[in-house]
Structures are given as structure tokens and as C-alpha cells.
């Protein structure tokens, strides 16, 4: 082993920890034939739904040394940042926001954190480029190769001792760093995550049909959501943590460092209720969602999600605002979701005629017997 390379690798990993990354691993750039094939099979099945960018970038995604990324890439530094310890049920009551989205938008923050790493690599004559969802790459596959963790049956990267509530960042470089050794998959016979999915989105362990996944439906998907999937959304307004929250690898207690990390839940989620999303105009939503992940689905997407959540919660108190949205919202998608929610609440709260008839029949029968 070349001592200078080992030294540079150690320096890089030490600096990564000083910068706030909880874990760092290195993978050697090699062809990813098996991962590329898995991606193609997944795309061919249509599991990516309307995420056309996944298909459009498949070739680049499977080749980190693609000229559009970094043609002289030799190593990938994979960094993980835990976000797990935001409040598990925080956000716009009675709705819920997935843990990773409860804090400020993380892209710029993590990207900025990689700057000293890139500077160090460049000072050693290497090229370097960072990726925080900012270029097409198979982040989870690289995390496995870099020995950071394994892919659980819930399709998430699991770092033993840390869990799966992680944000992944890549630094691709032409430096030949010392690679780490991948670890074995450790799910064993467990299948808690597969059974916990409220919409049955797992086609098989590690194979997710995004079209049925609440994360995709509430964040990426524009337009209406199938009636069949609406009830399964429960109270999820943005994203879903169900298949991670049941995982035994996520049961660890947060460290002080994790509790004070910059992705802590924002107080603003406690200031409003889910129904307020139905009252907001574009300008109001723009101000409310600024610098947060909730911006992505836009005003209409979040109002649609809120209507479905209120329909699932089934509280008559929400009928007036839902009726108003069903009649007047600018978006046909929101109007449709609000109409569905009204019907659902009314169906739940109206007396059930067949039950009443059955009760009458029993009363008459009992009276006849007694008489
Ligand atoms: S995020 Fe939720 S909906 Fe998506 S696969 Fe996991 S449990 Fe299912
Ligand atoms: S819940 Fe069980 S099967 Fe699913 S990822 Fe965690 S350990 Fe693996």
C-alpha cells in the first residue's frame, strides 16, 4: 500500500468527521454491471412512475466516471449524516412529515460541508466533485461498496450502530484513496419493514414499486392519487417513515452530537395545522415552505396531501374547509381530493342504515320473545 495514499485517506476521513459527517468510507471506482442491470429491470417494470429523470439519466447514473460526472474518477468517498432524531410525529397536526424533511433543506448545507474535502483533494493534485442529490449517481450502491453499511429489505442503506435515517453525500475524486471492505447484509429472517408498508409498495425485499410508495405519492407525484392508495396514506402529509421506524437497526438512542445537529425539526411545523395548507395561496405557501424540503410538491401537492390526510382522520370538524376546497380550490387535483375527503368523512359519521335496521330487527325479535 502506498503510504501517501493511506495518509491522504486518513486525512480525508478525519476531516470529514470534523466537518460533521458521522461516517465516511471509500470505494474504488469499478464497473457496476449488476447495479446497472438492477436499475434497468426496475425501470423496465415502470416502478419509477413519473420520475422520468430516472430513466433519462440511467446510463450516467450507472457510470460514475461518465464524462458528464467525473471522467477521471478513481475513488468515491461516501459520507453519511444522521437525521433520525427529529421528532417522530412532528408536523402540521394531525398530519405527519417524514423525519428527514422536518428540518431545513439539507442540500446546500451538506454541499457546503464538502468544500474543505474537495480543497484538500485538489491540494494533492486530484480532481473532485461532490454530489448531494445534485448529480445522477447510485448513492446506495456506492455506500455499500464503501463499506458504510448494507441495503436492508426496506431498500435503505443501514449502518450498523447508526441505523438507516441517513443522508448520503458523495465526493467523487481522481485520487486513488484506500478502499474500505463491504460488510455482509444483516436482515436475516426479519421482514418487519415489508409487513409495515401501509400501501404494499414492496414487490420483493429491496424492490420498491415507487408508484405505491407514500414518499413518492406525496412528494414526487403530480396529479391525482388513486383512490385505492389514499386510505393507506393515513396521516402522512409528506413522505413516510413506516418501513424505517420498525427496523431494529433504528432503535439506538441518539447521541448529543446528533441531537444538536443542524437538521433538528423546525418550530414552524407546530405553528400551523394540516387544514391550514388548504387555506394557503401560492404566496403564502411560498413563504411557509421556504428553505425546507416541503417546497418540492408545491402548494397544490401539499393541499392535495392535506385533503387526503383529513379524509383519513375523519373528523367532522374539517368538513367546512374541505367543502370550501372542493368547490373553490384553483387546482382540480385538490378539488378532487377534497371531494373524496368529504365523502369519506360523511360516510364514517353518518348513521349506518343497515346497522340501524339490524338493531331494529333484534329489538323487535327480543320484544316478540318477551311478549
Ligand atoms: S416509505 Fe412508506 S409507503 Fe414507502 S415503502 Fe416505506 S412504508 Fe411503504
Ligand atoms: S426491518 Fe428487518 S428486514 Fe427490514 S431492513 Fe430492518 S432488519 Fe432488514
pLDDT tens digits, one per residue of 335-368: 999 999 999 999 988 765 555 555 555 556 555 5
Pairwise CA distance, residues 358 & 1, whole Å: 81
Question: Considering the chain, what percentage of its residues have pLDDT values greater than 70?
Answer: 89
Tell me what the mean pLDDT of segment 127-141 comes to.
Answer: 94
Q: Say if residue 28 is exposed, middle or buried (CB neighbours under 10 Å; 0-12, 13-18, 19+).
A: middle
167 and 277: one domain? no
pLDDT higher than threshold 80 for residue 235: yes
- At residue 340, the pLDDT reads 98
- At residue 371, the pLDDT reads 45
pLDDT confidence band for 87 (50 / 70 / 90): low
286 is catalytic: no
Tell me what the mean pLDDT of segment 226-238 comes to.
Answer: 96
For residue range 7-37, list pLDDT tens digits in order: 999 999 999 999 999 899 999 999 999 999 9
| Number of domains comprising the chain | 2
pLDDT higher than threshold 90 for residue 201: yes
Establish whether residue 246 lines the binding site of ligand 2, counting it when its CB lies within 6 angstroms of any ligand atom. Answer: yes
Of the residues 139, 173, 207, the one at which a domain ends: 173
For residue range 155-172, list pLDDT tens digits in order: 999 999 989 999 999 999
Residue 185 lies inside a defined structural domain of this protein: no
Q: Which residue has the higher pLDDT, 304 or 356?
A: 304
164 and 294: one domain? no
Of the residues 121, 138, 173, the one at which a domain ends: 173
Q: How far is CA 223 from CA 302, 335, 336, 338, 368, in A?
A: 11, 11, 10, 13, 56
Q: Which of 106, 122, 109, 123 is nearest to 172 (CA)?
A: 122
17 and 166: one domain? yes
Residue 37 lies inside a defined structural domain of this protein: yes
pLDDT confidence band for 105 (50 / 70 / 90): confident
Which amino acids bring their CB within 6 angstroms of ligand 1?
A: 196-197, 199, 201, 208, 213-215, 240, 242-243
Residue 370 lies inside a defined structural domain of this protein: yes
160 and 295: one domain? no
164 and 25: one domain? yes
Q: Is 211 in contact with 45 (CB distance < 8 Å)?
A: no
pLDDT higher than threshold 70 for residue 110: yes
Report the separation in Å between the CA atom of 150 and the middle of ligand 2, taken as the mean of its atom positions: 11
- At residue 256, the pLDDT reads 59
Q: Which of 320, 326, 287, 282 is nearest to 304 (CA)?
A: 326
Establish whether residue 36 lines the binding site of ligand 2, counting it when its CB lies within 6 angstroms of any ligand atom. Answer: no
pLDDT confidence band for 249 (50 / 70 / 90): very high
Report the 10 Å Cβ neighbour count for 135.
18
Which of 127-131, 259-263, 360-364 has the least mean pLDDT? 360-364
Residue 180 lies inside a defined structural domain of this protein: no
Report the separation in Å between the CA atom of 272 and the middle of ligand 1, taken as the mean of its atom positions: 25
pLDDT higher than threshold 50 for residue 233: yes
User: Where in the sequence is the domain holding 326, given as residue range(s)?
Assistant: 272-371
Of the residues 129, 153, 173, the one at which a domain ends: 173
Mean pLDDT taken over the chain? 91
Q: Is 136 in contact with 57 (CB distance < 8 Å)?
A: yes
Residue 214 lies inside a defined structural domain of this protein: no
**Pairing relationship of beta strands 96-97 and 236-238 according to DSSP bridges:** parallel
Annotated catalytic residue within 35, 105, 133, 245: 133
Residue 304 lies inside a defined structural domain of this protein: yes
Residue 238 lies inside a defined structural domain of this protein: no
- At residue 1, the pLDDT reads 46
For residue range 27-68, list pLDDT tens digits in order: 999 999 999 999 999 999 999 999 999 999 999 999 999 999
Q: How far is CA 44 from CA 34, 41, 55, 57, 176, in A?
A: 15, 5, 9, 14, 35
Q: Is 261 in contact with 95 (CB distance < 8 Å)?
A: no
Angle at the Cα of 105 from the Cα atoms of 100 and 111, rounded to 5 degrees: 105
Tell me what the mean pLDDT of segment 185-201 comes to.
Answer: 98
Residue 244 lies inside a defined structural domain of this protein: no
- At residue 142, the pLDDT reads 98
Question: At a CB cut-off of 8 Å and minimum separation 6, what does 148 contact?
Answer: 23, 24, 25, 78, 80, 157, 159, 180
13 and 134: one domain? yes
pLDDT confidence band for 252 (50 / 70 / 90): confident
Report the separation in Å between the CA atom of 191 and the middle of ligand 2, taken as the mean of its atom positions: 6
pLDDT confidence band for 226 (50 / 70 / 90): very high
14 and 160: one domain? yes
Q: Is 69 in contact with 172 (CB distance < 8 Å)?
A: yes
Ligand 1, atom nearest to 208 Cα: 5
pLDDT confidence band for 6 (50 / 70 / 90): confident
Q: Is 269 in contact with 346 (CB distance < 8 Å)?
A: no
pLDDT higher than threshold 50 for residue 246: yes
User: Looking at residue 343, which CATH number applies to its domain?
Assistant: 1.25.10.10
Cell numbers at 291, concatenated: 428553505
- At residue 114, the pLDDT reads 97
30 and 169: one domain? yes
Establish whether residue 154 lines the binding site of ligand 2, counting it when its CB lies within 6 angstroms of any ligand atom. Answer: yes
For the entire predicted model, the pTM comes to: 0.90
12 and 122: one domain? yes
Amino acid at each position: 500500500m502506498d503510504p501517501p495514499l493511506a495518509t491522504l485517506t486518513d486525512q480525508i476521513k478525519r476531516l470529514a468527521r470534523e466537518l460533521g459527517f458521522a461516517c465516511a468510507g471509500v470505494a474504488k471506482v469499478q464497473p457496476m454491471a449488476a447495479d446497472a442491470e438492477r436499475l434497468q429491470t426496475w425501470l423496465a417494470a415502470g416502478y419509477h412512475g413519473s420520475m422520468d429523470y430516472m430513466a433519462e439519466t440511467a446510463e450516467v447514473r450507472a457510470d460514475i466516471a461518465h464524462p458528464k460526472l467525473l471522467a477521471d474518477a478513481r475513488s468515491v468517498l461516501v459520507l453519511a449524516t444522521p437525521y433520525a432524531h427529529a421528532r417522530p410525529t412532528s408536523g402540521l397536526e394531525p398530519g405527519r412529515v417524514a423525519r428527514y424533511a422536518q428540518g431545513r433543506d439539507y442540500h446546500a448545507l451538506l454541499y457546503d460541508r464538502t468544500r474543505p474535502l474537495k480543497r484538500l483533494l485538489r491540494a494533492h493534485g486530484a480532481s473532485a466533485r461532490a454530489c448531494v442529490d445534485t448529480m445522477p449517481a447510485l448513492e446506495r450502491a456506492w455506500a455499500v461498496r464503501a463499506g458504510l453499511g448494507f441495503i436492508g429489505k426496506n431498500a435503505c442503506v443501514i449502518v450498523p450502530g447508526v441505523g438507516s435515517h441517513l443522508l448520503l453525500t458523495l465526493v467523487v475524486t481522481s485520487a486513488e484513496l484506500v478502499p474500505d471492505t463491504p460488510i455482509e447484509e444483516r436482515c436475516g429472517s426479519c421482514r418487519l419493514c415489508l409487513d409495515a408498508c401501509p400501501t404494499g409498495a414492496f414487490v420483493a425485499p429491496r424492490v420498491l414499486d415507487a408508484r405505491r410508495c407514500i414518499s413518492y405519492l406525496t412528494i414526487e407525484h403530480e396529479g391525482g392519487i388513486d383512490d385505492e392508495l389514499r386510505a393507506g396514506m393515513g396521516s402522512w402529509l409528506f413522505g413516510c417513515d413506516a418501513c424505517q421506524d420498525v427496523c431494529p437497526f433504528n432503535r439506538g438512542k441518539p447521541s448529543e452530537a446528533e441531537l444538536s445537529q443542524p437538521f433538528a425539526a423546525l418550530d414552524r411545523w407546530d405553528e400551523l395545522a394540516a387544514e391550514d395548507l388548504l387555506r394557503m395561496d401560492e404566496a403564502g405557501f411560498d413563504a411557509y415552505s421556504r428553505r425546507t424540503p416541503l417546497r418540492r410538491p408545491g402548494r397544490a401537492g401539499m393541499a392535495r396531501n392535506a385533503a387526503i390526510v383529513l379524509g383519513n382522520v375523519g373528523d367532522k370538524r374539517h368538513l367546512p374547509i374541505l367543502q370550501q376546497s372542493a368547490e373553490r380550490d384553483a387546482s382540480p387535483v385538490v378539488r378532487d381530493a377534497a371531494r373524496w375527503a368529504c365523502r369519506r368523512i360523511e360516510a364514517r359519521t353518518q348513521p349506518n342504515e343497515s346497522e340501524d335496521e339490524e338493531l331494529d330487527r333484534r329489538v323487535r325479535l327480543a320484544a316478540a320473545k318477551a311478549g
